[in-house]
């Protein structure tokens, strides 16, 4: 089967449509996403496109590339819908949506180039429905856009390798694309992009003992293109920050993650392998089943290329101290392609008894995850909201039979049919979660509910919310950058100093301290509303009151 432009366009459209559900109803997901959104909004409002800030603090974690993209998408929508979109989540999520739309057909193209059209389509499908990819493509964070950039780098490397294999010259545009993609990656995530960008060719040199093809990418002058993309902003931020950006972004954020687990994310090697069962579900079991076939075909040039893409990146992020599931997301397209090849092109090799036993155990775990995934939405609604949703039950009724069908087909050794059933179950389960479950989980939607209450009762157009008991970044994004995240005693002092246009959000556990400080100032307050909920970021149950001076 040969794929043409129409196939890729239809695949991109399908990816776009599958990524749409929940994009407008999904609240800001603490804690990273609202920080990206708020920093991008402040960039728009201040017209300062060099110095990235969250409230009055510099956000020196990575260069400004992702903030430029989110600010540009929001500015474009603001011209159509007005300034009210600045407090909406969906404009900031447009870059992730567009990136996901391109990633899926690009994965299909790489898979088709290596192993044929049917394999490319299967690989695109496995990636498109994987849990981690679906989650990241719905958020206004950097990871989906970074994945697209890394895919472009790997595609350029593949073009050079294919040209060598066919003994034909490599076009100049391939080299330009490779080095420009590296430069864009530096503007997105800094030196992280060099791990796959240089790790893949280095691994290939090691495996093949041949680096002659590297000259096809014009490295003698290509690196100048990479530097040209990032240097102007680097010079500007160096001047503005007085060197503080590089001290924080490289010294503390990048290098700090190597030696120490940051933000309670320090975990031992093996973490990414452990969570792979859920993160790449439903493809994770089929990826495990593909390992013997991949090993058997390891000397094929196509397999060497994909392993050189996966192994260096995966090893680096298993060895560094700080670990989050999305760190290895750039390897998932290559894993999807190898998995798809084992399903569509290779005959399964004969396995030893212990290998069958291990796959059987992993298969049971995979089945449990899948069934739990189908049930999760309805159970969450009942546990948190004590209600059922008809649409959530319909999603359950559609996904669970497909999941059970996948299990039955696996027992009959029908791997390909099982994969199709499991992918269908994933699509329906995801749609149910984003359309029916998450929008109705009011208990955990604290920030939107607080923002609505604040909007209803605020005394001035420029009123300030003081939150002493709930300090999530999503609250700052929805209420405004002037939101004060301070303790109860400081909140009382702020009300005393700014009594006309301020409101304080205090949890019942902090009210005693808050009230005691108010008595010292001789200040009397009135409660304008109260709401209860769960802060899912830390698991704390909150009973919040909104107070203002009489």
List the pLDDT tens digit at each of the 550 positions of the chain: 789 999 999 999 999 999 998 888 888 886 889 999 999 999 999 999 999 999 989 998 889 999 999 999 999 999 999 998 998 999 999 999 999 999 999 999 999 999 999 999 999 999 999 999 999 999 999 999 999 999 999 999 999 999 999 999 999 999 999 999 999 999 999 999 999 999 999 999 999 888 889 999 999 999 999 999 999 999 999 999 888 888 877 766 656 555 554 554 457 888 999 999 999 999 999 999 999 999 999 999 999 999 999 999 999 999 988 888 999 999 999 999 999 999 999 998 888 899 999 999 999 999 999 999 999 989 988 888 888 888 888 888 999 999 999 999 999 999 999 999 999 999 999 999 988 888 888 898 899 999 999 999 988 888 999 999 899 999 999 999 999 999 999 999 999 998 889 999 999 999 999 999 999 988 888 999 999 999 888 888 999 999 998 8
How far apart are the C-alpha atoms of 496 and 514, rounded to whole Å? 12
Q: How far apart are the first and last CA of the chain?
A: 74
Angle between helices 219-241 and 172-189 (to 10 degrees): 20
Cα 11 to Cα 4, 228, 392, 435: the distances in Å are 11, 34, 27, 22
Interacting residues of 120 by C-beta distance below 8 A, sequence separation 6+: 3, 107, 108, 109, 110, 111, 112, 113, 337, 340
Residue 411, classified by CB atoms within 10 Å of its CB into exposed (0-12), middle (13-18) or buried (19+), is exposed
Q: Decide which of 3.40.190, 3.30.1400, 2.40.50, 1.20.120 is the CATH code for 443-549.
A: 3.40.190
Whether 174 and 220 have beta carbons less than 8 Å apart is answered as: no
**Bridge partners of residue 507, in order along the sequence:** 544
Q: Which helix (H) or strand (E) holds 124?
A: helix 117-129
Please give the pLDDT value at position 264.
45
Instruction: Residue 449: name the closest of 481, 432, 472, 430 by CA.
Output: 472
How far apart are the C-alpha atoms of 304 and 71, rounded to whole Å? 40
How far apart are the C-alpha atoms of 63 and 56, rounded to whole Å? 18
How far apart are the C-alpha atoms of 463 and 465, rounded to whole Å? 7
How many Cβ atoms from other residues are within 10 Å of residue 367's Cβ? Answer: 17
- Buried (b) or exposed (e) across 182-202, using 16+ Cβ within 10 A? bbbbbbbbbebbebbbebbbe
350: three-class secondary structure by DSSP:
coil
Please give the pLDDT value at position 254.
59
Tokens of 520: 């010292």
* Ranges of each domain in the chain: 5-344, 353-440, 443-549
Please give the pLDDT value at position 122.
97
Interacting residues of 282 by C-beta distance below 8 A, sequence separation 6+: 126, 129, 130, 366, 370, 406, 419, 422, 423, 425, 426
Instruction: Residue 503: name the closest of 481, 480, 484 by CA.
Output: 484
Please give the pLDDT value at position 389.
81
């Amino acid at each position: 089967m040969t794929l043409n432009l129409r196939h890729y366009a239809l695949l991109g459209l399908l990816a776009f449509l599958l990524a749409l559900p929940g994009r407008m109803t999904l609240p800001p997901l603490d804690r990273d996403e609202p920080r990206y959104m708020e920093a991008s909004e402040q960039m728009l409002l201040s017209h300062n496109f060099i110095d990235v800030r969250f409230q009055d603090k510099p956000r020196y974690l990575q260069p400004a590339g992702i903030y430029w993209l989110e600010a540009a998408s929001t500015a474009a929508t603001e011209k159509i819908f007005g300034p009210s979109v600045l407090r909406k989540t969906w404009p900031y999520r447009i870059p992730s949506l567009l990136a996901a739309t391109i990633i899926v057909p690009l994965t299909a193209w790489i898979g088709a180039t290596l192993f044929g059209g049917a394999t490319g389509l299967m690989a695109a499908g496995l990636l498109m429905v994987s849990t981690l990819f679906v989650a990241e493509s719905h958020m206004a964070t950097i990871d989906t856009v970074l994945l697209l950039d890394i895919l472009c780098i790997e595609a350029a490397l593949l073009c050079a390798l294919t040209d060598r294999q066919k003994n034909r010259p490599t076009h100049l545009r391939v080299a330009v694309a490779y080095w420009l993609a590296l430069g864009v990656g530096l503007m997105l995530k800094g030196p992280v992009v060099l791990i796959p960008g240089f790790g893949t060719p280095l691994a290939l040199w090691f495996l093949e003992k041949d680096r002659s093809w590297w000259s096809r990418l014009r490295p003698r002058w290509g690196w100048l293109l990479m530097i040209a993309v990032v240097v102007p902003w680097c010079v500007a931020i160096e001047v503005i920050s007085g060197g503080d950006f590089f001290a924080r972004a490289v010294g503390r954020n990048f290098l700090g993650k190597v030696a120490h687990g940051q933000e309670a994310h320090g975990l031992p090697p093996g973490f990414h392998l452990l969570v792979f069962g859920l993160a790449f579900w439903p493809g994770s079991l089929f990826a495990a089943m593909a390992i013997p076939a991949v090993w058997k075909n390891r000397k094929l040039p196509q397999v060497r290329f994909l392993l050189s893409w996966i192994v260096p990146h995966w090893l680096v992020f298993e060895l560094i101290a700080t670990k989050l599931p999305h760190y290895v997301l750039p390897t998932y397209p290559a894993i999807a392609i190898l998995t798809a090849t084992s399903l569509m092109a290779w005959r399964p090799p004969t396995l030893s008894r212990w290998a069958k036993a291990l796959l059987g155990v992993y298969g049971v775990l995979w089945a449990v995850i899948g069934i739990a995934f189908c049930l999760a939405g309805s159970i969450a609604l009942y546990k948190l909201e004590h209600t059922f949703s008809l649409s959530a039950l319909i999603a359950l009724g559609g996904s669970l039979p497909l999941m059970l069908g996948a299990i039955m087909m696996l027992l009959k050794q029908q791997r390909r049919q099982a994969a199709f059933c499991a992918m269908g179950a994933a699509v329906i389960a995801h749609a149910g979660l984003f359309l029916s479950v998450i929008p109705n989980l009011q208990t955990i939607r604290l920030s939107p509910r607080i923002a609505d209450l604040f909007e209803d009762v605020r005394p001035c157009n420029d009123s300030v919310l003081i939150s002493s008991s709930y300090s999530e970044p999503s609250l700052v994004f929805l209420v405004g950058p002037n939101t004060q995240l301070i303790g109860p005693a400081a909140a009382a002092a702020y009300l005393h100093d700014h009594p006309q246009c301020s409101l304080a959000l205090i949890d019942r556990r902090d009210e005693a301290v808050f009230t005691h400080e108010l008595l010292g100032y001789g200040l009397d307050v009135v409660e304008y509303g109260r709401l209860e909920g769960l802060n899912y970021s830390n698991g704390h149950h909150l009973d919040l009151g909104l107070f203002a001076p009489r």
